[in-house]
Amino acid sequence: MKKLLSLLFFLSVVLAQEKPSPVVVIEDSGGWHYVNVSLTDINRIVCPQAIKSVVYSKEKEISVEVQERNAYVKFLPKVLPDGKVELSDIPRELYVDCGEKVFQLILVPKRIPAVVVALRVPHEDKEKARQLERSGDYDSVLLSLVKSVYMEEVPEGYEVKLINKPYRSFEELDMILYRVYEGSMYSVEEYVLQAKTDLELWEGQFIPYLKQPLAIAIVQPVLKKGQTTRLIVVRKNA
């Protein structure tokens, strides 16, 4: 039997993110897809593979930076004649070339936190997931899955499902199953933990309440009452 891979992520104040960002999943079906995104924060679009290009109207106060599978989208402020600064909530169109497919998006700016938009091509994804899961040794593959979910990136070929339902309630904390990322051999479960008192967490505490975990990572193990953190769990599919 493979050993349980136990991981602790100690994060700086700058990088720490106690609550996961919302993820919107867009499946290739042709036509336009309307997506609510943040007007004020940087949004991220994730392709199944490296992005070839992003086409948009630059005169519409929008900035797009592409880095491999990711496109970072920011709405730019407009300086009015009286010197005041304004952010326009007019929708913007975006064409994202993900290699084999071009996704047509209408981004609708809202006063909400940053959004991750995951683009999927379902019939290609399972094979990409299998390739990812066989791309290295056991430990390195599990570690890469945990890192991807921690960075709020969808592992290549994986399908992400928003659950956001209570999972367990303990005297010290509440445990919410927030998202599940499903691949071919493995799935990654992302939980939100909310402390009811000051406490220090360790991975072994959760093993009895999880379904045959292969790897466990706690983002921030020391919590004050009312604070939240994320628990990331990799398990083998049935």
| pLDDT at 6 > cutoff 60 | no
Q: How far apart are CA 97 and CA 1, in angstroms?
A: 42
**Rounded-to-integer distance, Cα 46 and Cα 117, Å:** 6
Instruction: Convert the pLDDT of each residue in 150-181 to its tens digit.
Output: 888 888 888 888 899 999 999 999 999 999 99
Residue 214, pLDDT above cutoff 90: yes
CATH number of 29-120: 2.60.40
Q: What is the mean pLDDT of the chain?
A: 86
Is residue 3 very low, low, confident or very high in pLDDT (cuts 50, 70, 90)? low
What pLDDT shows up at residue 169?
95
Percent of the chain with pLDDT over 70: 90
Q: What is the pLDDT of residue 218?
A: 92
Residue 80 has pLDDT above 70, yes or no: yes
Domain boundaries, the chain: 5-21+122-236, 29-120
Q: Where are the beta strands (DSSP E) in 98-172?
A: 102-110, 116-120, 159-169
